[in-house]
Structure 1
Amino acid sequence: MSLSTHTTQSGFLLPSIHSAPPFFTQQPNLATQSILTEQWTRLILAYARYRRLFILRIEDAETTGNEWDEVLRNERINRRILPSHLSHILASMVATNVAAYEPAKQTRTVLLYWRLPEEWAEVLHNWATSTAQLNTILTFYDITDPPIESELSGIPLIGVADGEGVRIFAGGR
């Protein structure tokens, strides 16, 4: 089978490396595995951004029928990533600050950072500007569940004590 890109049912374009059987296997050569881990990291983050997914679990590699099937499996070559390999990749993603274990005291579920905090701040500021929310005190609920769908809809935000909110100022970015 030749390596080729493939468009998934959701419309995401998988890179040609996704057609290579060794891509789905943890490699004994550390240099090779490092390259594959970087490629898996890019693929996971790109797919998460495309599908607006924030959470990835080891269980997603163990079960079928979930939102990660298109990436974690390749039925065309009869391959899937093993949970131990995904665990290694997630640990690397946490170590390079593109993911965080959520909740913090376990290693089976990560929150994916497919946008940098600065990018989310820009999205938040643009949303506040376009919806006339500047200089308005908002709750996290107001931001993550707005009346009109936005890029911030459903985003997991860090929670704070009850009653606290966010105020977005018009000033210097």
Structure 2
Amino acid sequence: MARSTHTTPSGFLLPSIHSAEPFFTQQPNPTTQSKQTETWSRLILSYARHRNLFFVRVEDAETAGGEWDEILRNERIKRKVMPPHLSHILSEMVAKNQAAYEPPKQTRSVLLYWRLPEEWAEVLHQWVTSTGQLTTILTFYEITDPPVPSPLSGIPAVLLRKAIAILGKTGRAQIISIADGEGARFFAATGK
């Protein structure tokens, strides 16, 4: 089969390398493996951003019909990423700060940083400012599930907490305990 790009049912454009059988096999040559892992990392992050996915687990390589099937499998060439290979890719992503093990102290599930926590902090502050909610206490639920979808819709609490902590270091936010869980108050940016 000739290598070609392919558009998935979700509308994601897979690169032509996804049609190459060796792409799905962990390579023995360290240089080749490093380049392959880098390509897989970019593919996973761009797909996660496209689908608004935040987590990938080693088990996703074995789960047929899952949300990661479009990239972890290629039925056209009858190939899929095996769990040890995906585990290696994820460990490299964590080492390069493209992901973090979540929950911590395990190595089978990662939180993907298709935006770094610092970038999420800026997106969050910009959203709060543009919606006129500075100095208002917002619950995590109000931020992650707003009535009008926003760039923050669906963001996991662990990533939201990191973004708020980053804003807190510059005096632009503080986490507040409230009856229903956690919330935050945001402040205008101060001059530097």
Structure 1 length normalisation: TM-score? 0.94
| SS of aligned partner of 2:111 | strand
Contact 2:176 2:184 in 1 (8 A): no
Return the offset for 1:20.
0.6
1:167 maps onto 2:192 in alignment: no
Paired residues in the alignment total: 173
Say which SS state the counterpart of residue 3 (structure 1) adopts.
coil
Distance 1:128 1:161, change over 3 A: closer
1:153 aligns to 2:171 (yes or no): no
Question: Alpha carbons of 1:172 and 1:17: their partners in 2 closer, same or farther (altered >3 Å)?
Answer: farther
Superposition pairs of residues 9-24 of structure 1, within 5 angstroms:
9-24=9-24
What's the CA shift for 1:69? Answer: 0.2
Q: Do residues 60 (structure 1) and 60 (structure 2) align? A: yes
Letter paired with 2:188: A
Q: Distance in 2 between matches of 1:14 and 1:137?
A: 42
Q: Which moved more, 1:4-13 or 1:112-121?
A: 112-121
Q: CA deviation at 1:161?
A: 7.8
The amino acid that maps onto 2:83 is: P
What's the counterpart of residue 81 of structure 1? Answer: 81
Alignment of 1:5-154 (within 5 A): 5-154=5-154
Report the Cα distance in structure 2 between the residues aligned to 1:84 and 1:166, rounded to whole angstroms: 40
Secondary structure (helix, strand or coil) at the match of 1:149 reads coil
Q: Distance in 2 between matches of 1:171 and 1:110?
A: 32
Q: Which amino acid aligns with 2:18?
A: H
Deviations 1:135-159 (A, max 9, x none): 2222222211212221111101235
Name the CA distance, whole Å, in 1 between partners of 2:120 and 2:131: 16
Decide whether the 8 Å contact of 2:8 with 2:14 is kept in 1: yes
1:170 CA drift (Å): 2.1
> Following the alignment from structure 1 to structure 2, what is the Cα–Cα distance between the partners of residues 6 and 172?
47
1:88 to partner: Cα distance: 0.3
Please list the CA deviations of residues 1-40 of structure 1 after superposition, one character each: whole Å capped at 9, or x if unmatched.
2211110000000011101100000000011000000000
Amino acid at match of 2:30: L
Matched with 2:171 is none
CA RMSD of aligned residues (A): 1.6
Q: Distance in 2 between matches of 1:134 and 1:167?
A: 7
Instruction: Give the unaligned 5+ runs of structure 1.
Output: none
Aligned-residue sequence identity (percent) comes to 71
Deviations 1:22-69 (A, max 9, x none): 000000001100000000000000000000000101111012000000
Larger strand fraction of residues: 2
* Structure 2 unaligned blocks of 5 or more: 162-174
TM-score, length of structure 2 as denominator length = 0.85
Provide Cα deviations, 1:65-122, integer angstroms capped at 9, x if missing partner: 0000000000111100000000000000111111111111111111101002232122
